[in-house]
Structure 1
Amino acid sequence: MTDPTLLAISNGLTPLSHLGHPRDIVRQFTPNWFTVVMGTGVVALALDRVPITRTLLSPLPAGLWMAAVALFLVCCGLYAARWIFFFDGARQIFGHSTVSMFFGAIPMALATLINGLLIFGQSRFGHGILAVAFWLWWLDVVLAVVCAVAIPYLMFTRQEHRIDQMTAVWLLPVVAAEVAAVTGGLVAPTVIEPPMQLVVIATSFVLWGISVPLALSILAILVLRMALHNLPPREMAASSWLSLGPLGTAALGLLVLGDAGGPILAEHGFGGAVDILRLIGLIGALILWGYGAWWFMLSLIVTLRYRREGVPFNLGWWGYIFPLGVYALATLRLGEATGLVGLAWLGAGLVGLLTLIWFVVAGRTLRGAYRGDLFVSPCLATASKN
């Protein structure tokens, strides 16, 4: 007779054993999977920013970026297939108060790939790849703005929300615009035509303005929600780190746009723009970084509290990675801008922590994808109950 324990273990490791049929991969596929691309992409960018990693482990950042590109293409294919073959189930996402927020992960994932294209692409694909990055950035801008407007509109008209159920997931569709703004600051200097450089940098500042004030408003409401109703359930434990994302990205955006925008504006007759924008960017980035430091310490304490209770693994764990990644990038950039060695070392330490977390989360994601238990669409479950 077969030992039932061994049988259970064997079944647990069988490919796609938690799915009724392999086609359920498509039927259950959600935008949450794009957070895997976001996390992997930002780890590649962060590792490339640390001098010792860039010198001793130079193939690693580029390899992770290429893996992120491959994952993005797979995710796009699977999600497009869901809309084609399971349209009725796919459209239910618009009414779901949580999963719909992850539409913002699509433009954010694309932005990390464009950033990597500017860093790793020229040596592999030639100078012409900059034109590809330029047009991909405009696509990213459109997607980010649509998310920033359409998802809040759905929140106001089709979905049901309560303050006691609010989490930092609300930030996802909003933050996409400021991530695109950072990418715009990197793309602008690569554009050949000066008038178009001005268009790109001006658009990037507008994107920053679309996102950051709204994100700060959501963070204020989130503090009130936690004070009145305590922490979210342990299944949403990783969401506490999402608050770090808009602050790290906003600080990074001010630094990048300050460095790139000054020379471009000066070339178009705005005298003194180089020093003014760089100074405003530095001061603003330090303030936002300080606010982020408060959220970092709070999120760390909250995570330790959750850990005592036990946190079940789900795709939400990727919420630990991207916010920490952009905060680490902002820290490293601040270290370079100020010349403060402490910030440089702190940034390197954050990148080390980020990489360690990525290995843990990526490993558990591979296992969950192999078994099939991560392919779950809450929209379908909600619809079946109704």
Structure 2
Amino acid sequence: MSSLVVVHIMSSWKPLNRLHSPVELVRQFTPNWFTVNMGTGITFLLLAQFPAHITGLHALAYGLFIVDAVLFAVFMGLFTARWVFFTQDAMPLLRHPVQSMFLGAIPMALIPLVNGLVLFYPAQPLAAQWALHLWWIDAALSLLTGWLVPWYQFTAQDHSLDRMTGVWLLPVVPAEVAASSAGYLAQHLPAAQAQSLVVAGYALWGMSVPIAMGILTVLYLRLALHKLPPKELGVSTWLSLGPIGTGAFALLTLGAAAPQAFVGTIMAPVANLAGPLGVIGALILWGLGLWWLATAIVLTAIQVRRGLPFNLGWWGFTFPVGVYTAASLTLGLRTGMPFFTAFAAMLIVALAGACTVVAVRSAHGLWHGHLVQAPCLRSAELVTAQATSSR
């Protein structure tokens, strides 16, 4: 019922009345909107850890944390209401070859809030315990999307190599995002709880990063054979940075947490190796990410000259860059090399600017209603119309 109250309030805004009816906001709601939380979330986490002291920056980051939490609750309400009240209209989402991939945005949107609880309330054990409970929910959602979406991809969806883009990564990456959070949370929890988190984190890393690397290999082949993706999906090239940056960040956080979690246990010798091996692995992935970062910049410049229309996919400029920045910032701390810290600071500034621009344009699109559209519904309606006309 709370979701319908939100819809009723928002429908009173004149621009949203341009939709066919107020309830269209629920019926047309897609998981793409959770990319707003992903971008906002990684931005406030990095602003709160900016390597230079700037007055008011931490307060700004905390304010974004609150805004992001409210938006996530609203989006979850709308998404749940769509499945409860418009189940038949929601089902085509699972068969849509692009929209279904964005189901992975839901668990990835939750992780910044989980980490934010520990970051902004470090002295409150209750915050860490709430974060732990939410993390296990997120891990379950990550596994669900990581298996469910590929199952539909393998059995029911229509795909071809020439139509492949970086969005294929979205249902696979949540597991490694959860893995990076596991290492971060484990450093703030008792050893008994930290041990299970670290073990689960490495398992989640293994269920995500190798698969993502395989997808990146195929994506390289697709770009070589079929050139750039359509301009509507032009930003998808940036998604390649996501699994690389998160994979590196997870190795660093898990490597930092493992020795403390397994001290005095039979696993202690292995755990003590996790830190240095994590740094080595992160450095290798960081180098791969630098190649993709430069490639994404060049390919985007070409797309801009051709005309790059705005859509929610522009949030792809934020989260992938953000997790790569988090890996760079952590490498600076682990290696003591100022280059990584300076590089991360530069990326944080760029990220904040990109997030501001995309947020303003997203709010404009929501206000005027043209971003409230479900492509899976249009596809389903087209199939129905074609079937009717053929009778």
TM-score (norm 2): 0.92
**SS in structure 1 of the partner of residue 171 of structure 2:** helix
Report the CA distance between 1:195 and its aligned residue.
3.1
**Aligned pair in 2 of structure 1 residues 267, 373: CA closer, same or farther (>3 Å)?**
farther
In structure 1, the residue matched to 2:163 is 165
Deviations 1:57-87 (A, max 9, x none): 2201111111110110000000111111111
In structure 2, the residue matched to 1:91 is 91
Q: Percent identity?
A: 44
Q: Does 1:324 align with 2:321?
A: yes
Report the CA distance between 1:191 and its aligned residue.
2.7
In structure 1, the residue matched to 2:188 is 190
Deviations 1:210-256 (A, max 9, x none): 00000000000000001000010110011010000000000000000
The answer to whether the Cα contact below 8 Å between 1:30 and 1:79 also exists between their aligned partners in 2 is: yes
Backbone CA RMSD of aligned residues: 1.4
Report the CA distance between 1:18 and its aligned residue.
4.1
In structure 2, the residue matched to 1:131 is 129
**SS in structure 2 of the partner of residue 146 of structure 1:** helix
In structure 2, the residue matched to 1:7 is none
Deviations 1:299-337 (A, max 9, x none): 000111111111111001001110000011111111111
CA distance in 2, matches of 1:54, 1:271: 40
CA distance in 2, matches of 1:202, 1:14: 51
**SS in structure 1 of the partner of residue 121 of structure 2:** helix
The answer to whether the Cα contact below 8 Å between 1:111 and 1:137 also exists between their aligned partners in 2 is: yes
Report the CA distance between 1:56 and its aligned residue.
4.5
In structure 1, the residue matched to 2:388 is none
In structure 2, the residue matched to 1:180 is 178
The answer to whether the Cα contact below 8 Å between 1:37 and 1:109 also exists between their aligned partners in 2 is: yes
Letter in 2 for 1:128: L
Deviations 1:174-193 (A, max 9, x none): 0000000011112223333x
In structure 1, the residue matched to 2:221 is 224
CA distance in 2, matches of 1:208, 1:42: 19
Report the CA distance between 1:53 and its aligned residue.
5.0
CA distance in 2, matches of 1:221, 1:210: 18
Q: Does 1:245 align with 2:245?
A: no
In structure 2, the residue matched to 1:44 is 44
In structure 1, the residue matched to 2:70 is 70
CA distance in 1, matches of 2:119, 2:38: 16
Report the CA distance between 1:274 and its aligned residue.
5.1
Which stretch shifts more, 231-240 or 182-191? 182-191
Report the CA distance between 1:275 and its aligned residue.
4.1
**SS in structure 1 of the partner of residue 318 of structure 2:** helix
Query: Which residues of structure 1 form unaligned runs of 5+?
Result: 1-12
CA distance in 2, matches of 1:195, 1:16: 50
Deviations 1:25-78 (A, max 9, x none): 111001100000010000001111213256542201111111110110000000
**Aligned pair in 2 of structure 1 residues 385, 53: CA closer, same or farther (>3 Å)?**
farther
Letter in 2 for 1:121: Y
In structure 1, the residue matched to 2:5 is none
TM-score (norm 1): 0.93
The answer to whether the Cα contact below 8 Å between 2:51 and 2:345 also exists between their aligned partners in 1 is: no
Moved over 3 A (4+): 53-56, 271-275
- 1:273-312 equivalences under 5 Å are 273=270, 275-312=272-309
The answer to whether the Cα contact below 8 Å between 1:186 and 1:256 also exists between their aligned partners in 2 is: yes
In structure 2, the residue matched to 1:346 is 343
CA distance in 2, matches of 1:189, 1:287: 24
In structure 2, the residue matched to 1:9 is none
CA distance in 1, matches of 2:290, 2:94: 34
CA distance in 2, matches of 1:329, 1:55: 21
Report the CA distance between 1:208 and its aligned residue.
0.4
Letter in 1 for 2:112: T
CA distance in 2, matches of 1:296, 1:132: 35
